[in-house]
Structure 1
Amino acid sequence: MKPHSMKKHGMKKHGMDNRSRGVLAHVVLLVFAATALAPLLLVLLNSFKSNAGVTGSPFALPKSLSPSNFTTAWEYGAFGSGFLNSVLLTGTTVVVVLLCSSLAGYVLAGQRIRMWPAVMVYLTMAMTVPIQLFIFPLYAGVAALGLLDNVFVVGVILAAINMPFATFLMRTFFLNVPKELEEAARIDGANVLQLIHRVLLPVVRPGLITVGVIVGLSAWNDFLISSTFLHDPSEQTVTLGFLSMNGTFSTQLGAMMAGALILILPVLGVFIALQRYVVDGMAGGAVKG
C-alpha cells in the first residue's frame, strides 16, 4: 500500500473513531437526561389523576386535564402566602450571602490579612460541623430576642449556614481575576469600593450567579431551619405548606403530586433560565483553587 493511501486510510479510521465516541457520549447523556426527567414527567402525569388513577395506572396518560388537584393543593397547602414567604426568605438569604461572601472572597483571595490561613481553616471546619449541634442554643437566642416567626431572621440564619461554602467559591473566582486589572484600576485612582463594585464584581458575575442559584435553591427547599423558627401558619414557606399536606392528603396522591409540581416549577424555571451562567461559573471557578 502506498504511503499516501495509508495516511488517508488512517485519517478515515481516526475520523470514524471520533464519530463513534461522539455518538456514545450523546447516548450516555440522553440516558442521564431521561433518568433525571422521568420522575418529573411522572409527577406531571399523575397530578391530573384521581387517587384511584394514580394507584391503578401511574404510568398511563390522564383521561382529562382538570385542574381540581392544583386548586385543592393551592388552597390547603396555603401556597399563596407560602410563595411570598419563600421569596422573602430566599431573597434575604441570597442578598446577605452575595454581599458578605464577595467581600470576604476578595480579601482572602488577595491574602490581605495576616491571619488568612487561620480564617481558611475556620471556614473549612465550619462546613464540616452539622447545624443540628447549634439548633437549641440558636433557638433559645432567637426566642429570647422575640424574633421567632420572622422570615427575614430565618433568611439571615440560612445565610450564615451557607456563608463558608459561598466564601470559598467566591475566593476561587477572585483568584482567577488578573492582577493587572486591579493594578490598572488603582493607577486610575479607584478606591477599594470603586474597585470592587465597578471593576471586579462585573468580572466575577458568573460566580455571583452560581453562588446565588446554589444558595437560593438551598434556602427555597430548606425544612429544618424553617420548621424550627417559623411556627405561625401565616409565616410558613411553600415547602412547609406542602409538607403540611401529608397528614390530610396522604391518601390523595393526585393532590400531593399537584402540590409537588407547584413547589418544583418555580425552582426549575429559575435554574433553566440561569443554567448557562451556572455552567460558565462552575467551569471558571474550577480553574484555580
Structure 2
Amino acid sequence: MASVEAAGAPVRERRRTRRRSWPLVIAIGLFCFSAILPLLFMAVTAFRTQADWADAKIGLPTTLSFGAFERAWTGANIGVYFRNSVIVTTSTVVLSVVSATLAGYSFAKLRWRLSGGVYLFVLAWIAVPPLLMMVPIYIEMVQLGLLDTYGSVILLYTALNLPFNVYLMTAYFRSVPDELIEAARIDGAGIHRTFLLVLLPLAKPAIATLVIFNVLWSWNEFLFALLMLQSDGVKTLTVGVLQLQGRFTADYPALMAGLLITSLPVIAAYLVFQRHLVRGIVAGAVK
C-alpha cells in the first residue's frame, strides 16, 4: 500500500500543478487575444465595402471585396511609398549593423584609453527620449540640407538605435572567450582579420537579432518620418497611407487595407526570424 501511495503522489502533484496553472494560462490567452484583436479588426475591415462600413463599424464583410486594396494602392500611391520604405529600412539596417558591430568589438575586445567612459556615454543616450530632441534634430537637418531626403531619416534612425545596438553587440562579444582572440593573434591575425574571420562568424545570432529589431523599428517609425519627409517622392509607407484620410472624410476600409499592406512585411519578417530574437538576446547573458 505504501508503494502504491508513493507512486500516486507524483500524479496528484501534477494535477494540482495543472489546476494552479489555469489562471496563468487564461491570463496569457487574454493578453494574446488583446494583441491580435487590432490586427483582426484591420484585416476584416479591409475586405469590407464602404456600404458595410456605413451600416456597422464592427462586423464581418457581407461580400468579400478587394475594392479597398485597389483604392488604397492607387489613392495613396503605395507602390512608391513601399519602395521608399524598403530603401530607408535597408540602408538603416546596413549602417546600423556595420557601426554597432565595429563599436561592440572595440568596446569588448580592444584595450584603449577612455573605453569605459565612452561606452557609458553611449549607453546614457538610451535614457534620453527621442521626442525631446525633435526640434534640435529638425533644425540640424535643415542646416545640413538633408530635410526631405532619404539621408535625414536613415542617419536619424541609425543614431537613435545606436545605443541599444552597441550594447547588444558589446554584450555578445564579451561572451566570446578571450582565448579565441589570443589564438588568432598567435596565428598572425591582426585586429581586422580577427574581427572578420573569428568574431564576425560567431556573432551571427546577435547580428540576426540586430537586423530584426532595426527592420521592425525603422519600417514602423512614423513621427520622425512625418516630420522629415514632406514630398511624395521620399515619403515612407507609414506616412503615405495618411493620404487615405482626408480632413473631413475618410475611406476607412481603404485606410485599413493600406495599414494591412504596411504591416504584412514586418509580420512576415518576425514570424520567419523570431527564433533568432531569443537566441541573440540571451547570447550575451551568460559568459
TM-score (norm 1): 0.89
Equivalent position amino acid for 2:239 in 1 = L
Q: Which position in structure 2 is the counterpart of 1:10?
A: 9
Q: Which position in structure 2 is the counterpart of 1:145?
A: 144
Judge which range, 171-180 or 258-267, deviates more. 171-180
Q: Which position in structure 1 is the counterpart of 2:169?
A: 170
Do 1:173 and 1:207's aligned partners in 2 also have CA atoms closer than 8 Å? Answer: yes
SS in 2 for 1:247: coil
Do 1:51 and 1:251's aligned partners in 2 also have CA atoms closer than 8 Å? Answer: no
Give 1:23 deviation, angstroms.
Answer: 6.2
Q: Which position in structure 1 is the counterpart of 2:37?
A: 38
Equivalent position amino acid for 1:258 in 2 = A
- What percentage of aligned pairs have identical amino acids? 34
1:102-117, aligned counterparts within 5 Å? 102-110=101-109, 112-117=111-116
Give 1:184 deviation, angstroms.
Answer: 2.5
SS in 2 for 1:233: coil
Give 1:185 deviation, angstroms.
Answer: 2.4
Give 1:217 deviation, angstroms.
Answer: 1.4
Cα distance in 1 between the residues matched to 2:195 and 2:173? 10
Give 1:66 deviation, angstroms.
Answer: 1.8
Matched, 1:220 2:219: yes
Cα distance in 2 between the residues matched to 1:214 and 1:184? 33
Cα distance in 1 between the residues matched to 2:270 and 2:97? 18
What do residues 10-34 of structure 1 show as CA deviations (whole Å, max 9, x unaligned)? Answer: 2222333455567666554433332
Cα distance, 1:239–1:33 mapped onto 2, change above 3 Å: same
**Count of residue pairs brought into register by the alignment:** 287
1:22-33, aligned counterparts within 5 Å? 26-33=25-32
1:1-289, aligned counterparts within 5 Å? 1-2=1-2, 4-20=3-19, 26-54=25-53, 56-110=55-109, 112-247=111-246, 250-287=249-286
Q: Give the gaps of 5 or more residues in structure 2.
A: none
TM-score (norm 2): 0.89
SS in 1 for 2:245: helix
Give 1:256 deviation, angstroms.
Answer: 1.2
Cα distance in 1 between the residues matched to 2:247 and 2:133? 32
Cα distance, 1:31–1:284 mapped onto 2, change above 3 Å: farther
Do 1:109 and 1:171's aligned partners in 2 also have CA atoms closer than 8 Å? Answer: yes
Cα distance, 1:134–1:31 mapped onto 2, change above 3 Å: closer
